[in-house]
């Protein structure tokens, strides 16, 4: 994987949720050097958790205005392999693996286009990063 800074970034669900609720990352995103791409996995997570009309509208607008990356069949298969390795190395149970499955797909989608993943979910993405290299930015 190239060591140069990525041109693209995928925002994890945690960034969208926090920014939607508080606006905490708005300025940082506007000043970001990245071209933001969106993951179909993130759209799914956001829509699944949407409770208000405004939240559903936000996801709909996001899907229409952002280039969406959808995991490929090979990425799904590789994700299963990574989750198996995490099960053995980290001793994660089935519930934890289920929680990580979408994060692995986000990481693989980002890696595929040379993008960084931006998240507040530091621990899980760092665990995934030990199994497959990808660029990760952890925001506070």
Contact 6, 112 (CB under 8 A): no
Domain of 121: which CATH number? 3.40.50.1010
Between 2 and 10, the higher pLDDT residue: 10
Number of domains in the chain: 1
**Is there a domain that residue 1 lies in?**
no
pLDDT tens digits along 37-84: 999 999 999 999 999 999 999 999 999 999 999 999 999 999 999 999
**Is there a domain that residue 56 lies in?**
yes
pLDDT at residue 6, as a whole number: 72
**Is the confidence at residue 16, as pLDDT, over 90?**
yes
**Is there a domain that residue 93 lies in?**
yes
**Is there a domain that residue 50 lies in?**
yes
**Is there a domain that residue 2 lies in?**
no
**Is there a domain that residue 3 lies in?**
no
**Is there a domain that residue 59 lies in?**
yes
In the structure encoding, which two tokens stand for residue 78, read together? Answer: 């590789």
Report the C-alpha gap between 39 and 69 in whole angstroms.
5
Pairing of strands 35-39, 68-69: parallel
> 3-state class of 35 per DSSP?
strand
pTM of the model: 0.92
**Is the confidence at residue 3, as pLDDT, over 60?**
no
Phi/psi-derived region of residue 23, left when phi > 0, alpha when psi is between -120 and 50, beta in every other case: left
**Is there a domain that residue 62 lies in?**
yes
132: containing domain: 8-138
């Amino acid at each position: 994987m190239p060591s140069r800074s990525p041109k693209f970034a995928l925002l994890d669900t945690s960034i969208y949720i926090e920014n939607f609720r508080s606006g905490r990352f708005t300025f940082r995103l506007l000043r970001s050097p990245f071209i933001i791409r969106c993951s179909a996995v993130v759209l799914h997570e956001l829509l699944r958790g949407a409770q208000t009309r405004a939240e559903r509208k936000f996801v709909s607008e996001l899907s229409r205005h952002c280039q969406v990356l959808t995991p490929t069949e090979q990425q799904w298969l590789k994700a299963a392999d990574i989750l198996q390795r995490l099960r053995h190395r980290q001793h994660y149970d089935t519930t934890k693996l289920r929680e990580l499955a979408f994060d692995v797909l986000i990481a693989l989608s980002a890696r595929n286009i040379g993008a960084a993943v931006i998240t507040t979910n530091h621990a899980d993405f760092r665990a995934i990063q030990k199994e497959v290299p990808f660029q990760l930015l952890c925001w506070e």
